[in-house]
A and B are shown apart, each in its own frame.
Chain A
Amino acid sequence: MNSQWIAVIVTSVLCYAIKYIGHAIPEIWLAHPRVQRITNLIPIVLLSALVAMQAFTTKTKFVVDHRLAGITVAIAALTARLPFPVVVVGAMATSAIVYRLKI
């Protein structure tokens, strides 16, 4: 089995375990305000770092390319409160156009 399959299966099992444990544990365990504050922030920092990596790196090197145009359009669309599909499709179309024009 290759390492990609291992990552797929192990993450799937762990993520299910987390969901199940949530249903099974007494709520008091997570009631501490500090634990709640930190667990609320974890998805925020991970997602933000993921955006940075996916939009501005290629094989760990810092790169600014057509993807910047796509992300700029996504943020503009979000600021304008446009619906989710418009945000994503708008970003994809912009990035694709800039890529094809080799700007």
Chain B
Amino acid sequence: MSVKRDSLSVGLAVGAAGVAFGAVAVADHFSVLQACFLSLVLFSGASQFSLVAVISAGGSPLSAIVTGTFLGGRNGLYGVRMAQILKLKGAKRALAAQITIDESTGVAIAQTELEDQKTAFWYTGFGVFFFWNLFTLLGALGAKAIGDTSAWGLDVASPAIFCAVLFPRLKERKFFISALLAFVWALSITELVPAGVPIISTVFIAAIVGWN
């Protein structure tokens, strides 16, 4: 039973961050409907925040699409891992795919028994999905009521969340070096190239550092 409880707690804790997404999206001139659409259909936090960030920084739709899709790439890798555990076909597989994200995969593979892994995947996945969407709507409606979003710190909500996601992974040397290079590279070229390019061009840094 504690697997279900733990999974739902993760769902609530992570889903609550949806309030920041809803608020940031609306602060960056996306509609409430667009914010909710992204949480329902895209349903991958980093991709959602990046899409909004690239567009609001003046980037082209193409650069927003490419950045968002690349950030969603790791969900594909999680899918490969979860497919071995779940062994699904048809509609169930299609449903499982939508909730294949950091948290559902993370909580699932942290379990030792196969049945617990399956339970953890579904409960965490649907838990995050339910609360993430609920809080996106609340955040989006709330932000509409706020005038100057900088006065409420909303302009640092998204980079602070990205820092929190990145931080635990920077202990590994190659990850730290890559992150540092990408940070410096992006800021160095931002005034020279169109918006969106400083972000997506860092994929070359990943290719170079990861080559050997």
Contacts and interface: CB of A to CB of B under 8 A. Distances in A.
A4 B79 contact: no
B166 A99 contact: no
Contacts of B88: 23
Chain A contact residues: helix, strand, loop or mixed: helix
B13 A4 contact: no
B151 A78 contact: no
Contact of B74 (A10, A39, A88): A39
Contacts of B74: 39-40, 42-43
Given A52-B183, A57-B57, A96-B152, A14 B65 contact: yes
Given A11-B47, A41-B175, A50-B199, A92 B156 contact: yes
A88 B157 contact: yes
A103 B43 CA distance: 38
B160 A30 contact: no
A19 B47 CA distance: 13
Contacts of B49: 50
Interface in A53-73: 53-57, 59-62, 66-67, 70-71
B157 A19 contact: no
Contacts of B203: 42, 45-46
Given A8-B37, A43-B46, A60-B190, A50 B159 contact: yes
Interface centre among A7, A56, A84, A85 (most CB of B within 10 A): A7
Contact of B160 (A40, A70, A99): A70
Nearest to A13: B41
B34 A44 contact: no
A38 B210 contact: yes
Contacts of B182: 44-46, 48-49, 52
Interface centre among A8, A30, A45 (most CB of B within 10 A): A45
B205 interface: yes
A6 to B, nearest CB: 5
Interface stretch (B94-102, B111-119, B128-136): B94-102
Given A15-B42, A37-B210, A91-B153, A48 B160 contact: no
B190 A53 contact: yes
Contact of A95 (B58, B155, B169, B198): B155
A46 B160 contact: no
A95 B195 CA distance: 24
Contacts of B38: 8, 12
6 contacts: A8-B37, A10-B61, A15-B69, A18-B79, A49-B183, A53-B186
Given A22-B83, A38-B211, A74-B163, 18 more contacts: A15-B69, A19-B79, A20-B94, A25-B80, A34-B211, A37-B211, A38-B210, A47-B179, A49-B182, A49-B199, A53-B190, A60-B194, A60-B195, A78-B167, A88-B164, A91-B156, A95-B156, A96-B150
